[in-house]
Amino acid sequence: MSAVKEKSSVPAWFYPAFASKGVGIVSVSALLNYVTFFATNYLGLSPALVGTLMLFSKIFDGFTDILAGFIIDHTNTRLGRARPYEISVIFYCFFTVVIFSVPDMGAAGTAAFVFIVYTLIFSVFSTLLTCSEPVYLARAVKDDATRVKVLSFSGLIYVIPTVAVSAILPQLIATIGATRAGWRTIALILCIPATIIGMIRFITIKEIVDADPAGKQKIGLKEGAMLLFKNKYILIFSLALLLTNIAQNHGSGPYYFTYIVGDISMQSVTAIGTLLATMVLLFIPALSKKLGLAKVMKAGLILGAAGYLLPLIAPRLLPLLALSSMLSLGSIIPIWMLAGAIVINCMDYGEWRSGKRGEGIYSCASGVSSKVGIGLGAAISGGILALGGFDRMLPVQNGPANTAIMLLYTAIPAGFLLISFIVMQFYNLDKKMPVIQQELAERKIRREEDA
């Protein structure tokens, strides 16, 4: 029996509407990338302490991702399974304003405040958003080709806030960001519109109710964990995602432009690279259809590693730094934008092997990898800055501190991308998917006939 493909077309308005949440999130996330810089240079916390706080927060984050996956798998409301968790956008933005509004309470109190609020942002609200994302996509769009188009279009839409915020933030920091009150103002400027835009998808896009019993099976936490660890492809992809997030979240950009280039406002030049890098999204649907998702990702990882190494040639040459930004960001775009499609394929593979379809539990695996990767990136950065003798009170850093900043901006992230590339060599699910999807479609038809 041949597979029966479900017809799935979405209206033109669907694409920007689905991307709206991401537009809000990427704007706020760009600001959150400055938390380490803000904590060291404005709150007076040591880089090692900040890195340790971020690492412990992300380890805790891993547990909450697993819990969130379990909760999502057991959510059945009139709004759907994933859609209700979209309201987390409101709290994600609110607590971002809070973390950049730290009251003066001494070193210990400040460290505790930053840790608690940072953990709320990422371990609760970002976790719910991340874990529900592939489930929402799978339930709002029913065919693979349209999913990839939605993801690619979303990436193109994200260009606008990403480039704008990347260009504007360094200028705002160089002007009104000289005080704590200035940072709070910057947070408000970004987070208020991000909250409004981020809720558009929740209001406009519904989940498609699936009458297939396979999608309504109750999966316990223990059983979900067993399904997860028996699915080699979600584990391989999660490890690659972890390594890529460590590379991309070194947080050394503000330090590099402050102490190596000599002017943090010049970090706006990376916006040029960001704009050029996102053009690759125009080609992702065609490339992924022809080559497969994994090959597109692996190509990005190699180019990204090369991009990170470019500043070693001429550390202060702005055109070279723009090119470096373009290639290094280009490395994360395929794995970032296609992650949802990969996770959905892993859901299909898991259902094909076991007969049970985990959704939230697979989504949480990629979430854990992303969050722990961010934490490890911050911890590694803090540790290396501390080893280099970084001193925020010095307008010019010593030789070892500058070397530490240089390594964090170049060789260290390049190394993690290369390891991620090696890990992705073991991911070969793409070529198996046509057979898997055909067999799943046939099983569904038999279940409907039996019913």
Contacts of 205 (CB under 8 A, 6+ apart): 14, 17, 18, 83, 140
- Give the pLDDT confidence score for residue 288 in this predicted structure: 79
pLDDT in tens, 138-163: 888 877 778 778 877 777 777 778 77
Mean pLDDT of 349-358: 82
Contacts of 90 (CB under 8 A, 6+ apart): 195, 198, 199
pLDDT in tens, 220-244: 667 777 777 888 999 999 999 999 9
| pLDDT exceeds 90 at position 190 | yes
Look up the domain containing 85 and give its range: 17-206+217-450
Alpha-carbon distance values, 207 to 77, 141, 429 (Å): 11, 8, 27
The answer to whether 99 touches 50, Cβ cutoff 8 Å, is no
Mean pLDDT of 289-306: 88
- Least confident residue range of 24-33, 89-98, 204-213, 248-257: 204-213
Two tokens, residue 236: 């391989």
Strand (E) or helix (H) holding 283 = none
Report the distance separating Cα 66 and Cα 238, nearest Å: 13
Mean pLDDT of 360-364: 72
Question: Which range among 173-182, 270-279, 301-310, 362-371 has the greatest average pLDDT?
Answer: 301-310
- Give the pLDDT confidence score for residue 215 in this predicted structure: 45
The answer to whether 338 touches 350, Cβ cutoff 8 Å, is no
Report the distance separating Cα 195 and Cα 119, nearest Å: 19
Residue 54 lies in a domain: yes
Helix 127-140 and helix 339-354, axial crossing angle in degrees, nearest 10? 70
Mean pLDDT of 272-283: 68
Mean pLDDT of 419-427: 95
> DSSP for 8-28?
----TTHHHHHHHHHHHHHHH
Mean pLDDT of 432-438: 89
Report the distance separating Cα 114 and Cα 54, nearest Å: 9
Closest CA to 193 of 65, 20, 353, 77: 20
Residue 212 lies in a domain: no
- Least confident residue range of 65-74, 203-212, 336-345: 203-212
- Least confident residue range of 23-27, 171-175, 281-285, 423-427: 281-285
Alpha-carbon distance values, 45 to 37, 67, 105, 372, 390 (Å): 10, 31, 12, 22, 12
Q: How many domains would you assign to the chain?
A: 1
Half-sphere exposure of 248 (CA within 13 A, CB side): 28
pLDDT in tens, 387-414: 898 887 788 888 899 999 999 999 999 9
Contacts of 160 (CB under 8 A, 6+ apart): 23
pLDDT in tens, 96-132: 999 999 988 888 999 999 999 999 998 889 888 888 8
- Give, as one character, the DSSP assignment of residue 269: G
What's the CATH code of the domain at 242?
Answer: 1.20.1250.20
Average pLDDT, the chain: 83
- Give the pLDDT confidence score for residue 396 in this predicted structure: 83
- Give the pLDDT confidence score for residue 6 in this predicted structure: 44
| pLDDT exceeds 90 at position 451 | no
The answer to whether 280 touches 333, Cβ cutoff 8 Å, is yes
Residue 229 lies in a domain: yes
Residue 139 lies in a domain: yes
pLDDT band at 332 (very low <50, low <70, confident <90, very high): confident
pLDDT band at 37 (very low <50, low <70, confident <90, very high): confident
Residue 2 lies in a domain: no
Strand partners for 80: 77
- Give, as one character, the DSSP assignment of residue 80: B
Q: Which has more confidence, 340 or 327?
A: 327
Residue 180 lies in a domain: yes
Report the distance separating Cα 364 and Cα 370, nearest Å: 10
| pLDDT exceeds 50 at position 3 | no
Quick one: what percent of the chain has pLDDT higher than 70? 90
pLDDT band at 275 (very low <50, low <70, confident <90, very high): low
- Give the pLDDT confidence score for residue 2 in this predicted structure: 38
Residue 12 lies in a domain: no
Q: What burial letters (b/e) apply to 235-264, b meaning 16+ CB within 10 Å?
A: bbbbbbbbbbbbbbbbbbbbbbbbbbbeeb
| pLDDT exceeds 70 at position 211 | no
> DSSP for 332-394?
HHHHHHSHHHHHHHHHHHHHHHHS---SHHHHHHHHHHHHHHHHHHHHHHHHHHHHTT--TT-
Residue 5 lies in a domain: no
